[in-house]
């Protein structure tokens, strides 16, 4: 009988301890959630836009016409970082938006100059947010220290630049990832779009055919004559030419061997700084295969003018042309 009471007391003590642990865990969770909530509120207030303001993109009025944001769009920010190896803390030399339209089953690419002078978040040496400042867009990634935070801050800067449209996904790779990215589709034959590479070799003339391999693709998409003003403009034309050829070849490979190509895509994504999960790669592959993509109609470049800055070239965005591009791609008339 005494032994039974003893076991009963031990069981009650054990239950009491378990209850205390559960209560403590709930209390800690509550405190953490409170901190996260208050921190998020502080972060939201530290910018120039509140949560309500960020939702204003959904319905807008331009020149007396009402527009509704197209919720069938999926937008992916693509970044190429100017470092190699495991280092992902440089500047974003290549910046592009891939827009997947699920209603019209189409893909559009929008290339953005790294030299675009836009609002970006600036951080000091210890990582403290110093607010918004007009800088080269490429520095949005660098100021945040690169990696995931750099991607998020570039997302934020591009979204702000594009009048608040949402950008859900990002994918960033540096120079070392380029051969792996290229080998997914293999050799590509392109027409050289201009003479911006002729300074390297007379064979790189406008209109000439060039076969791109994992050995020379970096030269084609990254090289520029820094002694020439506005040399990034020519490089952007080559990058656009490459992306057009790449997507067309990828569509062919997916139609010929979907599962094998998706498996190779998963391997590429696993070596990329991205928030696209491996389980989502197949969905993006299906869209890439099935959706319409016409390089003549579906590739865009943010318009503007080149200027000589105090230290570096600057690209000043044509805001009127950008607003028309945003309305054309991201909105529907109500």
Per-residue pLDDT at 126 exceeds 50: yes
Which CA distances in Å does 328 have to 108, 125, 165, 248? Answer: 11, 40, 13, 23
So what's the pLDDT on residue 54? 57
Residues 6+ apart with CB under 8 A from 211: 187, 188, 189
Across the chain, what does the average pLDDT equal? 86
So what's the pLDDT on residue 270? 81
Per-residue pLDDT at 160 exceeds 50: yes
User: Percent of the chain at pLDDT above 90?
Assistant: 75
Contact 193, 238 (CB under 8 A): yes
Q: What is the pTM of this model?
A: 0.82
Per-residue pLDDT at 46 exceeds 70: no
pLDDT in tens, 279-304: 999 999 999 999 999 999 999 999 99
pLDDT in tens, 9-37: 444 444 444 444 444 444 433 433 333 33
Contact 92, 170 (CB under 8 A): no
Q: Which of 2-16, 31-45, 255-269 has the lowest mean pLDDT?
A: 31-45
pLDDT in tens, 57-84: 999 999 999 999 999 999 999 999 999 9
Per-residue pLDDT at 193 exceeds 50: yes
Token pair of 213 as six digits: 């391999």
So what's the pLDDT on residue 52? 57
So what's the pLDDT on residue 28? 38
Token pair of 315 as six digits: 């690209």
Phi, psi of 14 (to 5 degrees): -60, -40
3-state class of 131 per DSSP? Answer: strand
């Amino acid at each position: 009988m005494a032994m039974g009471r003893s076991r009963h007391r031990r069981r009650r003590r054990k239950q009491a301890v378990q209850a205390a642990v559960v209560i403590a865990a709930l209390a800690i969770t509550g405190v953490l959630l409170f901190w996260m909530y208050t921190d998020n509120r502080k972060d939201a207030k530290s910018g120039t836009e509140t949560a309500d303001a960020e939702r204003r993109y959904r319905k807008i009025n331009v020149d007396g016409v009402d527009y509704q944001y197209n919720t069938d769009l999926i937008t992916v920010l693509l970044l190429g970082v100017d470092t190699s190896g495991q280092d992902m803390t440089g500047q974003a030399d290549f910046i592009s938006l891939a827009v997947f339209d699920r209603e019209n089953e189409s893909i559009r690419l929008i290339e953005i100059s790294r030299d675009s002078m836009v609002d970006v978040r600036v951080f000091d040496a210890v990582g403290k947010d110093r607010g918004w400042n007009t800088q080269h867009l490429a520095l949005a990634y660098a100021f945040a220290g690169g990696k995931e935070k750099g991607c998020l801050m570039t997302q934020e800067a591009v979204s702000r630049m594009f009048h608040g449209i949402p950008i859900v996904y990002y994918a960033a790779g540096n120079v070392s990832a380029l051969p792996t990215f290229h080998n997914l589709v293999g050799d590509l034959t392109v027409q050289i779009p201009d003479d911006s590479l002729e300074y390297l070799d007379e064979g790189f003339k406008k209109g000439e055919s060039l076969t791109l391999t994992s050995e020379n693709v970096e030269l084609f998409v990254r090289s520029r004559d820094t002694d020439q003003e506005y040399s990034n403009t020519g490089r952007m034309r080559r990058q656009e030419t490459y992306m057009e050829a790449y997507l067309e070849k990828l569509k062919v490979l997916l139609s010929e061997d979907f599962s094998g190509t998706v498996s190779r895509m998963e391997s590429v994504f696993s070596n990329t700084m991205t928030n696209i999960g491996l389980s989502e790669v197949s969905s993006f592959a299906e869209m890439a295969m099935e959706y319409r993509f016409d390089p003549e109609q579906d590739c865009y470049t943010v318009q503007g003018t080149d200027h000589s800055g105090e230290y570096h070239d600057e690209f000043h965005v044509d805001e009127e042309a950008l607003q028309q591009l945003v309305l054309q791609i991201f909105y529907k008339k109500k």
